[in-house]
């Protein structure tokens, strides 16, 4: 650093994108010059060994100090092998599996010359209108925090010794998942208590798991845009939570502080960002254009610049780039690793775990003894949709569609397959209905594959109506009217509002976007080669007017009573969701015995309390909540057993339930297992009236069940 000029330091704080879109690996001429002059220390949207090596050579051979570049990319749910979208993966509640897919994504990305992924997105969201919920882990803070940790570990691994991992980037800090009215980029406004209890913990879980970088969000929080928010970045993130890595902005979010009305011009925005602790400017070129002047005029202390550069160079050292700037550039490895057969298998495994069975009237599924199957709908044949949004270098035409998977099975002669699109995803043309109905009538079962196009979710993809787009519902209605059994297979990136389908379809399978191996994985579920076990991590509303709807709401002074006018309710809709958080079916059934609570006193307690105190426990005790689960069906299956807690009286009001634990167990038919949850006072902490984070003595409900609604409860008391 002692050798660096101020311009070169600011260069390290500057991140630019290449122009690699549909046109292949290209970069603006000016940017190559920036690399040569040391005015740009990192690039994104630059991948493949050939391209990154070319760019790295410019930095290493032609810049004065030969400092290597970092290459970043949005490797969100896979690089070339595409896994289910993160919201889908979260429904597996399988942390090891999510860590594994992140590790594979990292392995492919690193083999393609990348050092850094802009993932995981850990924004908690209760807003299905917001298109980016597909990128996150759902609505719950506890589960979301564990997922954040798993994904960071998966991407980063223990170290970069083998150059087969990439730096993680926790995003979008902070509160980006709570835009007013669900519109992307919109204002976020919440109390500090809600922020700390619900929204902050997932980011911090990622930080504690060792994430080397974090990205500021586009939104404002309490009137201050994140990229200029000193309280958020320095006090909360660095001082309170010990984050040592570097902070990058989101795309031009420093510049956008002018539109927010927080900065009078780009120059001032740059000063506010640097003084707030932003280390790297993504694409805005604000630091590049103005920061030198601001430092020389004394408006940004040199110390801020040095701190930022030290953090960024430290990351480059940790990646091993100063030892060998080309260590991620091995053509042979790239060929062997990217889209390998083993990774296809992993993609299929994860897809199996992510698919949620929402309805299965009269055990219509799995499909057995069906002689003729009609596969209908705009998403059956179009495999390119399966990769979903934010699919890195994924190629739609490499996905295996449902139609292809069904054709493979039909070849074995077990059934005759009929297929028709019926309509397209969002158009109004019903011309194809005739053919679709014709085929439907000849079949023994109709599979209707409907949902969103991948462009309808992701960034800048908020929707005000979450029904099926176009005339897809009309198509399903006509299919149902044939009187044949109808299985609706949904492909989408968010909870949809589908009350008619929920009532009239005989079976419903939520597949989200299942990735490269989506078609075969969905077919495995439908034909019963895999028994579904996933459970929803976001609530499905009955109607748009219920949004935001989430399981961990407050009780209010007039709790819901459908029969009383003067309680919190709608006149025209129940308060209850279509499908609650934690819900999902299996092809087998599970019986839950009675919940048993026991208290284990701390062994070293000087005066052990007599057992007669039964359900009272102290801060040093552990409460065991145990429950015996039996597989009462005819096939092996997995069950996600969930633990919720309610703090009945607090110095501030508490939610009616909060997820505090879960276990995924596998049981053979007839087999039983006792699941035990350990609960300590630490898990009952929250931001109390004086904003201290603590558990308050008093009564709690311990609730266990298969989802957030069907719960058994027992009351216990925390004593001083």
| List of residues 6+ apart from 240 with CB closer than 8 A | none
Task: Name the residue nearer to ligand NOJ (CB basis): 130 or 540.
Answer: 130
Choose between 4 and 122: whose C-beta lies nearer to ligand NOJ: 122
Tokens read off for 449: 């594959």
Residues 670-709 contacting ligand NOJ, CB under 6 A: none
Rounded to whole angstroms, how far apart are CA atoms 330 and 558? 64
Question: Per the residue annotation, which of 250, 266, 279, 382 is the catalytic one?
Answer: 250
43/447 with CB nearer ligand NOJ: 43
Binding status of residue 185 toward ligand NOJ by CB under 6 A: no
Smallest gap from Cβ 172 to ligand NOJ, in A, equals 6
* DSSP labels, 242-296: ---SEEE-STTTTTHHHHHTS-SSHHHHHHHHHHHT--BEES--HIIIIIHHHHH
Q: Report d(CA 492, CA 481) in Å as an integer.
A: 24
What is the per-residue binding string for ligand NOJ in 410-449, x denoting contact by CB under 6 A?
----------------------------------------
The correct pick among 250, 266, 382, 647 for binding ligand NOJ (CB under 6 A) is 250
Please, which residue, 17 or 272, has the CB nearer to ligand NOJ? 17
Q: Are 453 and 427 in contact (CB under 8 A)?
A: no
User: What CA–CA distances, in Å, run from 595 to 244, 319, 580, 677, 703?
Assistant: 44, 49, 21, 11, 8
Least Å from the CB of residue 568 to ligand NOJ: 35
Nearer to ligand NOJ, 251 or 500 (CB): 251
d(CA 176, CA 188): 7
Window 309-348: residues binding ligand NOJ (CB under 6 A): none
CB of 135 to ligand NOJ, least distance (A): 8
For residue 223, the minimal CB distance to ligand NOJ (Å) is 21
Give the residue, chosen from 19, 54, 251, 364, that forms a contact with ligand NOJ under the rule CB under 6 A: 251
The CA angle 607-613-616, to the nearest 5 degrees, is 95
Query: If binding is defined by CB under 6 A, does position 184 make contact with ligand NOJ?
Result: no
Contacts of 634 (CB under 8 A, 6+ apart): 588, 669
One DSSP character per residue, 653-665 reads --BS-EEEEEEEE
| Nearest distance from C-beta of residue 74 to ligand NOJ, angstroms | 5
CB of 250 to ligand NOJ, least distance (A): 5
The correct pick among 189, 459, 615, 616 for binding ligand NOJ (CB under 6 A) is 459
What is the DSSP secondary-structure string of 673-710? EEEEEEE-GGGG-EE-TTS-EEPPSEEEEEEEESSSSS
User: Of 165 and 171, which CB lies nearer to ligand NOJ in the complex structure?
Assistant: 171
- To ligand NOJ, the closest distance from the beta carbon of 123 in angstroms equals 10
Task: Quote the least distance from Cβ 184 to ligand NOJ, whole Å.
Answer: 9
Q: How far is the CB of 136 from ligand NOJ (least distance, A)?
A: 11
- Identify which of 405, 351, 403 has the alpha carbon closest to the alpha carbon of residue 379: 403
Residue 118 as a binder of ligand NOJ (CB under 6 A): the answer is: yes
Measured from the CB atom, the residue of 282 and 476 that comes closer to ligand NOJ is 282
* Sites for ligand NOJ among residues 461-500 (CB under 6 A): none
Q: Looking at beta carbons only, is 211 or 523 nearer to ligand NOJ?
A: 211
Q: How many CB atoms lie within 10 A of CB 398?
A: 17
Which stretches of 5-79 are assigned E, i.e. beta strand? 14-17, 42-44, 70-73
Cis status, amide bond into 473, omega within 30 of 0? no
Q: Is the dihedral of CA 301, 307, 310, 315 positive or negative?
A: negative
Residue corresponding to tokens 């077919």: 523
Contacts for 310 with CB less than 8 Å, ≥ 6 apart = 1
Give the shortest CB-459-to-ligand NOJ separation in angstroms.
Answer: 5
- Look at residue 312 and give its three-state secondary structure: helix
Cα–Cα distance, 584 to 568 (Å, whole number): 27
Measured in whole angstroms, the distance separating CA 195 from the mean position of its chain's CA atoms is 18
- Pick between residue 131 and residue 469 the one whose CB is nearest to ligand NOJ: 131
Closer by beta carbon to ligand NOJ, 118 or else 617? 118
Rounded least distance, CB 387 to ligand NOJ, Å? 16
Of all residues in the shown chain, the one whose CB is closest to ligand NOJ is 118
Q: Residue 461 corresponds to which tokens in the numbers above?
A: 């993809």
Residues 6+ away with beta carbon under 8 Å from 324: none
Does residue 604 have a cis bond before it (omega within 30 degrees)? no
Count of residues in contact with ligand NOJ, rule CB under 6 A: 6
Among 34, 74, 524, 647, binds ligand NOJ (CB under 6 A): 74
* Minimum CB–partner distance for residue 251 and ligand NOJ (Å): 4
Taking CB under 6 A as the criterion, the residue among 171, 196, 359, 664 binding ligand NOJ is 171
H helical segments located in 482-620: 499-504, 518-526
Considering beta carbons, is residue 118 or 262 the nearer one to ligand NOJ?
118
Query: SS3 for 239?
Result: helix
d(CA 427, CA 161): 51
Bridge-based pairing of strands 14-17 and 281-282 is: parallel
Instruction: Name the nearest CA neighbour of 355 among 521, 538, 528.
Output: 521
250 assigned to active site: yes
Q: Where do contacts with ligand NOJ occur on this chain (CB under 6 A)?
A: 74, 118, 171, 250-251, 459
| Catalytic residue ranges | 250
């Amino acid at each position: 650093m002692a050798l660096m000029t101020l311009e070169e330091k600011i260069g390290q704080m500057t991140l630019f994108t290449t122009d690699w879109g549909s046109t292949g690996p290209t970069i603006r001429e000016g940017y190559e010059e920036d690399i040569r002059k040391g005015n740009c220390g990192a690039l994104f949207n630059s991948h493949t060994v050939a391209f990154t090596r070319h760019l790295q050579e410019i930095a290493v051979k032609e810049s004065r100090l030969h400092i290597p570049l970092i290459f970043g990319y949005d490797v969100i749910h896979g690089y070339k092998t595409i896994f289910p979208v993160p919201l889908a993966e979260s429904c597996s509640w399988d942390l090891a599996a999510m860590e594994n897919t992140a590790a594979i994504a990292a392995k492919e990305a690193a083999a393609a010359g990348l050092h850094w992924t802009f993932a995981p997105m850990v924004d908690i969201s209760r807003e299905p209108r917001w298109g980016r919920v597909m990128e996150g882990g759902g609505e719950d803070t506890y589960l979301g925090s564990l997922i954040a940790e798993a994904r960071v570990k998966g991407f980063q691994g223990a170290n970069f010794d083998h150059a087969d991992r990439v730096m993680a980037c926790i995003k979008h800090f902070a509160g980006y998942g709570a835009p007013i009215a669900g519109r992307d980029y919109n204002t976020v406004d919440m109390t500090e208590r809600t922020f700390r209890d619900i929204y902050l913990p997932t980011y911090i879980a990622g930080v504690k798991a060792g994430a080397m970088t974090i990205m500021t969000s586009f939104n404002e929080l309490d009137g201050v845009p994140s990229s200029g928010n000193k309280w958020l970045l320095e006090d909360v993130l660095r001082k309170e939570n010990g984050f040592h890595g570097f902070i990058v902005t989101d795309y031009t979010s420093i510049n956008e502080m002018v539109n927010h009305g927080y900065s009078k011009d780009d120059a001032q925005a740059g000063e506010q960002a640097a003084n707030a602790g932003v280390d790297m400017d993504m694409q805005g070129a604000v630091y590049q254009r103005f920061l030198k002047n601001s430092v020389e005029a004394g408006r940004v202390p040199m110390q801020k610049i040095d701190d930022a550069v030290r953090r960024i160079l430290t990351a480059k050292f940790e990646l091993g780039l100063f030892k060998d700037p080309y260590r991620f550039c091995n053509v042979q490895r790239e060929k062997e690793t990217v889209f390998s057969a083993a990774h296809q298998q992993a993609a299929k495994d994860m897809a199996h775990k992510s698919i949620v069975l929402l309805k299965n009237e009269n055990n219509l599924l799995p499909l057995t003894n069906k002689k003729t199957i009609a596969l209908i709908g705009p998403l059956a044949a179009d495999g390119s949709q399966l990769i979903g949004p934010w699919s890195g270098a994924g190629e739609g035409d490499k996905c295996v569609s449902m139609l292809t998977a069904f054709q493979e099975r039909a070849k074995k002669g077990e059934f005759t397959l009929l297929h028709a699109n019926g309509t397209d995803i969002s158009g109004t043309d019903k011309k194809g209905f005739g053919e679709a109905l014709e085929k439907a009538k000849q079949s023994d079962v109709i599979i209707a594959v409907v949902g969103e196009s991948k462009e309808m979710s992701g960034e800048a993809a908020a929707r005000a109506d979450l029904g099926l787009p176009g005339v897809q519902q009309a198509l399903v209605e006509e299919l149902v009217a044939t009187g044949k059994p109808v299985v609706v297979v949904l492909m989408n990136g968010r909870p949809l509002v589908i009350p008619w389908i929920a009532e009239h379809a005989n079976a419903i399978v939520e597949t989200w976007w299942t990735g490269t191996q989506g078609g075969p994985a969905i077919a495995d579920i439908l034909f019963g080669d895999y028994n579904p076990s996933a459970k929803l991590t976001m609530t499905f509303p009955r109607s748009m007017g219920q949004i935001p709807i989430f399981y961990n709401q407050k009780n209010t002074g007039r709790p819901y009573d459908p029969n009383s006018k003067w309680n919190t309710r709608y006149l025209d809709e129940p308060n209850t969701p279509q499908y609650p958080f934690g819900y999902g079916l299996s092809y087998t059934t599970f019986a839950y015995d009675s919940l048993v609570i026991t208290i284990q006193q701390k062994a070293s307690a000087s005066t052990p309390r007599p057992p007669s105190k039964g359900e009272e426990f102290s801060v040093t005790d552990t409460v065991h909540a145990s429950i015996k689960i039996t597989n009462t069906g005819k096939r092996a299956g997995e069950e996600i057993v969930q633990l919720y807690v309610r703090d009945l009286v607090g110095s501030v009001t508490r939610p009616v339930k909060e997820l505090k634990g879960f276990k995924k167990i596998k049981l053979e038919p007839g087999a039983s297992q006792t699941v035990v949850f350990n609960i300590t006072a630490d898990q009952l902490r929250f931001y109390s009236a004086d904003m201290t984070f603590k558990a308050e003595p008093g009564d709690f409900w311990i609730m266990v069940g298969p989802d957030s609604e069907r719960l058994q409860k027992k009351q216990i008391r925390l004593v001083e």
